[in-house]
């Protein structure tokens, strides 16, 4: 089932790419329905893993990457249904597919390094919230990139068919801001629950690199939100800050996680 899901996902992304190159409503609709099939197959696989392993499967590298890919597909379907932003759906699925493809190099049979005594509902909520925030930040990042591209095209007066299909600068800025508004409190709550869980099991994490880096990420996004709310910064500056903040998330996940004394189990 897993291989079939990846093949269907690849076909969906290729169809979205075809629509991106040359607008074709029929191809776009087929890509959407293939994506819906991918979501169903991913959900079935996720539930089957949960029943087989007898825990919420988000504790290994394979499981967390798969969970993130599922979140990106879910967000893509939601965006397509409510907002009809074809390019946003396309770019979101490029990330989702790339992450799912990476899972092919991870060990799906890996078992959590944590002992069963340390696994609890609090830990699952902590990880789930963290990855939901990553999903929100990912889409916010894509919107900011689209903002920068359209802003540059406007300045260069490139009125191409591609330009005409992009949402307005106001829409891109607004939705990027709203998703960051969702991501910041979600990530903050995830960090708080993670610290509480660590204290409960006797592993304080106040000086853990990943915790400190997560707080830095929250701080940068908070500056972004503050500047947006107070209108101190507008447009391009905000979009660049949002891109920088997301780059910090990537550093936090891939670099800080490897230095963390606790998050070493996530592999």
pLDDT (tens, 9 = 90+) of the chain, 267 residues, equals 788 999 999 999 999 999 888 888 899 889 999 999 999 999 999 999 888 888 788 888 888 899 999 999 999 889 888 877 888 899 999 999 999 998 888 766 655 555 454 567 788 888 899 999 999 999 999 999 999 999 888 887 777 777 777 788 888 999 999 999 999 999 999 988 888 877 776 666 667 788 888 899 999 999 999 988 887 777 889 999 999 999 999 988 887 666 655 555 455
Could you tell me which of 114, 112, 122, 134 has the C-alpha nearest to residue 214?
134
Structure tokens at 110: 């890996």
Burial of 168 (0-12, 13-18, 19+ CB in 10 A): exposed
For residue 142, which of 81, 96, 188, 182 has the smallest C-alpha distance? Answer: 96
Q: Say how many domains are in the chain.
A: 2
| Phi then psi dihedrals of residue 111, to 5 deg | -105, 150
Helical H segments across the chain, by residue range: 2-21, 25-53, 61-82, 86-102, 121-155, 161-165, 169-200, 209-230, 236-251, 257-259
pLDDT at 112: 58
Write the DSSP symbol of residue 105: G
Tell me what pLDDT residue 182 has.
Answer: 95
CA 150 to chain centre: 22
Which domain, by its residues, includes 147? 113-267
- 150 and 75 within one domain: no
Tell me what pLDDT residue 80 has.
Answer: 81
Reported in sequence order, the residue ranges of 82-169 that DSSP labels E, i.e. its strands, are none
- Do residues 258 and 129 both lie within one domain? yes
Instruction: Identify whether the C-beta of residue 27 lies closer than 8 Å to the C-beta of residue 70.
Output: no
Looking at the structure, tell me whether residues 131 and 101 fall in a common domain: no
Q: What is the pLDDT of residue 200?
A: 74
HSE-CB at 29 with a 13 A cutoff on CA atoms is 3
> Which two three-digit tokens encode residue 50?
């949960």
| Structural domain ending residue among the three candidates 49, 80, 110 | 110
Residue 67 contacts residue 131 (beta carbons within 8 Å): yes
Q: Are residues 160 and 93 in the same domain?
A: no
Please identify, among 89, 110, 131, the residue that sits at the C-terminal boundary of a domain. Answer: 110
pLDDT at 175: 92
Give the burial class of 224: count Cβ atoms within 10 A of its Cβ; 0-12 exposed, 13-18 middle, 19 or more buried: buried
What CA–CA distance (Å, rounded) separates 49 from 51?
5
């Amino acid at each position: 089932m897993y291989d079939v899901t990846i093949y269907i996902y690849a076909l969906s992304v290729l169809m979205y790419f075809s629509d991106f190159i040359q607008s074709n409503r029929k191809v776009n609709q087929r890509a959407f329905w293939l994506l819906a099939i991918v979501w169903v197959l991913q959900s079935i696989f996720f539930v089957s893993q949960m029943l087989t392993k007898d825990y919420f499967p988000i504790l290994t590298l394979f499981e967390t990457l798969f969970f993130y890919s599922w979140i990106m597909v879910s967000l893509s379907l939601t965006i397509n249904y409510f907002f009809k932003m074809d390019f946003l759906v396309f770019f979101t699925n490029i990330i989702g597919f790339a992450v799912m493809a990476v899972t092919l190099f991870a060990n799906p049979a890996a078992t959590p390094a944590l002992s069963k005594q340390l696994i609890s509902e609090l830990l699952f909520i902590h990880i789930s919230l963290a990855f939901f925030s990553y999903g929100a930040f990912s889409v916010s990042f894509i919107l900011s990139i689209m903002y920068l591209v359209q802003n540059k095209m406007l300045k260069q007066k490139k009125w191409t068919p591609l330009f005409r299909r992009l949402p307005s600068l106001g829409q891109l800025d607004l939705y990027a801001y709203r998703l960051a508004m969702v991501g910041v409190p979600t990530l903050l709550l995830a960090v708080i629950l993670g610290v509480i869980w660590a204290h409960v099991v006797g592993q304080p994490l106040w000086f853990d690199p990943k915790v400190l880096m997560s707080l830095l990420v929250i701080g940068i996004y908070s500056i972004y939100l503050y500047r947006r709310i107070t209108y101190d910064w507008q447009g391009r500056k905000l979009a660049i800050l949002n891109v920088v903040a997301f780059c910090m998330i990537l550093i936090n996940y891939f670099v800080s996680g490897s230095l963390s004394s606790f998050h070493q189990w996530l592999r």
